Amino acid sequence: MKRIRLDLLAVLLVGFVALGLPALKSILRPSASIPAGGDARVATIDLEKVYNSIDAYKSKLEAIKVVEEELKSQAEAQQAAIKDLEAEFDSYQPGSEAQLKSMAQLQAAVGELKALQVFAQAKIESMQARALRDAYLLVKDATKRFAEKEGIDYVMLDDSIPQIEASNAKQMLAQISARRFLFASPGNDVTAQLVAMLNAEFKDKSAPSASTQGTSTAPATPAGAASGG
């Protein structure tokens, strides 16, 4: 009886395997929806080089520099005013009403200078952060359009280019762990093409339109005058 049960179990197992082979083959068979030889095209860019090379980002940095110089001039003027107030304070009789009044003016001026310095730092940092964000979004959009035009499936940041900064073991390990690329073929780098595309687009946007340039036409010939010949 025990032998019969074992034989029956063996027959059932063989039947399950026979039935399962077609299903297994269908799973292992390549899907008809995936074309043969459809390897993805991958390109890389050096993002830091892109940032340093595109005119759109350079123009924002120049605008930030103008604001920074203006705030610096305001701070220097305020510092000069404080020096004058200090000299005025020292010229008064110690403890006199004039000196107390001068002290109040000096304290107010120092407070204004500190407020200006805090405001200037916050404003510059905010402008720098916005410039970086805008440049990133600009590069991201341009990369998408460039990839679609060139038939590229993936554009990745080549983080193997920047040098690892010398530091302690913990910081060094953090830098290494943050890297995703150990090597990227220079032949797949499209940084130069992307920069050229972005700069051309920025030049087109910055160029004054025909309506703003004004039309430079020849002076109109007075009525009745001969037109030459």
Of 23, 48, 21, residue with least CA distance to 139: 48
- Among 32-41, 73-82, 123-132, the least confident range: 32-41
- The answer to whether 147 and 194 have CB atoms below 8 angstroms apart is no
- The answer to whether 67 and 125 have CB atoms below 8 angstroms apart is no
* Average pLDDT value for residue range 14-40: 49
* Average pLDDT value for residue range 185-199: 95
Q: Is the pTM of this model over 0.75?
A: no
Q: How many folded domains does the chain comprise?
A: 1
| Terminal C-alpha separation, the chain | 128
Q: Looking at this protein, which amino acid is placed at residue 62? A: E
In SS3 terms, the chain reads as CHHHHHHHHHHHHHHHHHHHHHHHHHHHCCCCCCCCCCCCCEEEECHHHHHHHCHHHHHHHHHHHHHHHHHHHHHHHHHHHHHHHHHHHHHCCCCCHHHHHHHHHHHHHHHHHHHHHHHHHHHHHHHHHHHHHHHHHHHHHHHHHHHHHHCCCEEEECCCCCCCCCCCHHHHHHHHHHCCCCCCCHHHECHHHHHHHHHHHHHHHHCCCHHHHCCCCCCCCCCCCCCCC
Of 206, 165, 158, 205, residue with least CA distance to 182: 158
Q: What is the mean pLDDT of the chain?
A: 81
Q: Looking at residue 5, what is its pLDDT?
A: 52
Q: Is residue 224 part of a domain?
A: no
Q: Is residue 6 part of a domain?
A: no
Q: Is residue 16 part of a domain?
A: no
* pLDDT 10s digits, 155-180: 999 988 878 888 888 888 888 888 88
Beta bridge partners of 154: 42
Q: Looking at residue 217, what is its pLDDT?
A: 47
Cα–Cα distance, 101 to 110 (Å, whole number): 15
Domain range spanning residue 202?
Answer: 40-206
* Average pLDDT value for residue range 184-192: 93
